[in-house]
Chains A and B, each alone.
Chain A
């Protein structure tokens, strides 16, 4: 038993020593994730430069109790409040041309009878939002902001009416105000996160899982492949070391680096990039540890199917990318085709992702994700057996 631990320790220590001899790989493992996350943080941040919206206000307004009411300028203010940069156009035709020529991404044209129609209870008929349309994400964003501004319009109009009404002169509101102000807006509540939960915060658990898996899998694969191609595996197998001890030694050696990497990613994400962490770092770390173990074992297993380093690279599209696509990292599992969902559940990253999201975003404790942890533990056992068997097959 002590002999066995000694041998496992010797293999783990050797891996750590080899790592230390390779500063470039260390830099890659520890710094690359931070760099990539920073870049992604910039790319997917919500604070984009405002989209310019052309605005042709043809609204003639109506006279109410001696004061003119025009809803056009009111809508303009609301659009600006929504974060759109409004540029005024006098000529609606010119505005349409500009959008068609893609000089502008979006335009709003307010019809001459806008206020009259709204006050008559006819709603926003005639109001047009014109989208350039080549970028669906941007279009959807502008449409959402436009929708919000329009929703807010009746309430704002009512407020304006009340403040501008002359004392003593009852405002000749043609329609009753209840028709003007639609019934209360549905309240939106968030159980977790909230409207301020950044996209980066939402993706952070996925990134953490992905980086740990990606680097650990590739490095273990290459390292084990070298063990075979350089002949050192022959020496190991001719020594008293047992197959399981080789697997455990690798698990320990590479696991150590992978966990260090995970810790750096987590700390960097939370303290430098400001990713929200509702749960405890320790819980996230525990999930990571299991995922990393799976990555080491899969790395050993798959290395037997590669003859050289280049063939290890070929595992990226075969082993890693499907996991990224299907694990719920990019798109929610619920929206996937049923067959794909089945496939997703054959992948360790799916469980790690789910557990990490629960722990990091919802702040749940590990007790609530035992099913996911058990699945990961199952992968650990499965690939321990498979990896040991592959080493045994080496002994023909």
Chain B
């Protein structure tokens, strides 16, 4: 196995995220069970696994919203949580997480100010640029509550992008989004990725996982397999990622009982 293997290893400059031996329990449920993860610069990394496999906990831990029981998370070589890191990280959840009674533009201006994205004209320019980027320039003055689901999701993406983060952590960004919009969102991700931004995207839609450079299969708080989608399929000898997931899951269960 390659970089996903456990073991002591200093983080390399091309590693944007280096998480080592993460454990986290909520009450009696173990959400992260000795998980390690490395994501390289410019990569589009997909986290795939069923509900409760630890995707959200992992992402929230990398963002710094969860302090793990043990293990460390370094982002850009710095331990999280850190204000310096949060300026370089964009975070988006499946909920739009915007102020409903404010307009899209007002929401963006607010988050821009929190991230210290300049003032005055520079801030305005950045807001307009971001609105363009997610194709919401014409709805900038609409209150968020009047937006359709798809527009909300794009507005939410804009809020995550407002401070031009180098790393984007997207937690199931396309849940409840129709196929057409889902494709549009992924086109956005690809475009931003082409600009050199690193992505960690959790999903349980296998089509989406296919569009990632690398995919990590999560199960019960552990990374059971990792690699490019095609290599995961090849190793499992299956035609689809879904079958590959089940094959790898079965193998990891088998390994445990041995």
User: When the two chains form their complex, are residues A18 and B116 in contact, meaning their CB atoms are under 8 A apart?
Assistant: no
Residues 91-127 of B at the A interface (beta carbon under 8 Å): 91, 93, 95-102, 106, 110-111, 113-116, 119
For residue A308, which residues in chain B have a CB less than 8 angstroms away from its CB? none
Query: Which residue of the partner chain, among B67, B95, B111, B119, contacts A239 with CB atoms under 8 Å?
Result: B111
For residue B97, which residues in chain A have a CB less than 8 angstroms away from its CB? 230-232, 234-235
Most buried by B among A6, A236, A395: A395
User: When the two chains form their complex, are residues B113 and A22 in contact, meaning their CB atoms are under 8 A apart?
Assistant: no
Of B37-45, B82-90, B207-215, B246-254, which binds chain A?
B82-90
Shortest Cβ gap from B45 to chain A (Å): 18
Shortest Cβ gap from A381 to chain B (Å): 24
State whether A6 and B102 are in contact (beta carbons under 8 Å apart), knowing that A235-B111, A237-B65, A238-B86 are contacts in the complex: no
A240 at the interface (CB under 8 A from B): yes
Minimal Cβ-Cβ distance residue in B for A238: B91
Query: Which residue of the partner chain, among B84, B93, B100, B119, contacts A234 with CB atoms under 8 Å?
Result: B93
Q: What 1/0 mask marks residues of chain A from 8 to 37 whose CB sits below 8 Å from any chain B CB?
A: 011101100110011000000000000000
Q: List 21 A-B contacts (CB under 8 A).
A: A6-B113, A6-B116, A10-B114, A14-B99, A14-B102, A17-B106, A21-B101, A230-B98, A231-B96, A232-B97, A234-B97, A235-B111, A235-B159, A236-B114, A238-B64, A238-B86, A239-B114, A240-B114, A395-B65, A395-B66, A395-B67
A3 at the interface (CB under 8 A from B): yes
User: When the two chains form their complex, are residues B93 and A231 in contact, meaning their CB atoms are under 8 A apart?
Assistant: yes
Shortest Cβ gap from B143 to chain A (Å): 7
User: When the two chains form their complex, are residues B113 and A10 in contact, meaning their CB atoms are under 8 A apart?
Assistant: yes
User: When the two chains form their complex, are residues B91 and A230 in contact, meaning their CB atoms are under 8 A apart?
Assistant: no
The 5 nearest A-B residue pairs measured at CB? A231-B97, A10-B113, A231-B95, A240-B83, A238-B91
Q: How many angstroms between the C-alpha atoms of A379 and B114 in the bound complex?
A: 28
Q: How large is the interface on A (under 10, 10 to 19, 20 to 34, 35 or more residues)?
A: 20 to 34
Q: How many angstroms between the C-alpha atoms of A337 and B200 in the bound complex?
A: 63
For residue B116, which residues in chain A have a CB less than 8 angstroms away from its CB? 3, 6-7, 240
For residue A6, which residues in chain B have a CB less than 8 angstroms away from its CB? 113, 116, 119
A241 at the interface (CB under 8 A from B): yes
User: When the two chains form their complex, are residues B87 and A235 in contact, meaning their CB atoms are under 8 A apart?
Assistant: no
Query: Which residue of the partner chain, among A11, A18, A234, contacts B91 with CB atoms under 8 Å?
Result: A234
For residue B113, which residues in chain A have a CB less than 8 angstroms away from its CB? 6-7, 9-10
Task: Please list the residues of chain B having a beta carbon within 8 angstroms of any beta carbon in chain A.
Answer: 26, 63-67, 81, 83-84, 86-87, 89, 91, 93, 95-102, 106, 110-111, 113-116, 119, 143, 159
Shortest Cβ gap from B144 to chain A (Å): 10
User: When the two chains form their complex, are residues B99 and A18 in contact, meaning their CB atoms are under 8 A apart?
Assistant: yes
User: When the two chains form their complex, are residues A238 and B95 in contact, meaning their CB atoms are under 8 A apart?
Assistant: no
Shortest Cβ gap from B55 to chain A (Å): 15
User: When the two chains form their complex, are residues B114 and A17 in contact, meaning their CB atoms are under 8 A apart?
Assistant: no
Minimal Cβ-Cβ distance residue in B for A22: B101
User: When the two chains form their complex, are residues B110 and A14 in contact, meaning their CB atoms are under 8 A apart?
Assistant: yes
A339 at the interface (CB under 8 A from B): no
For residue A3, which residues in chain B have a CB less than 8 angstroms away from its CB? 116
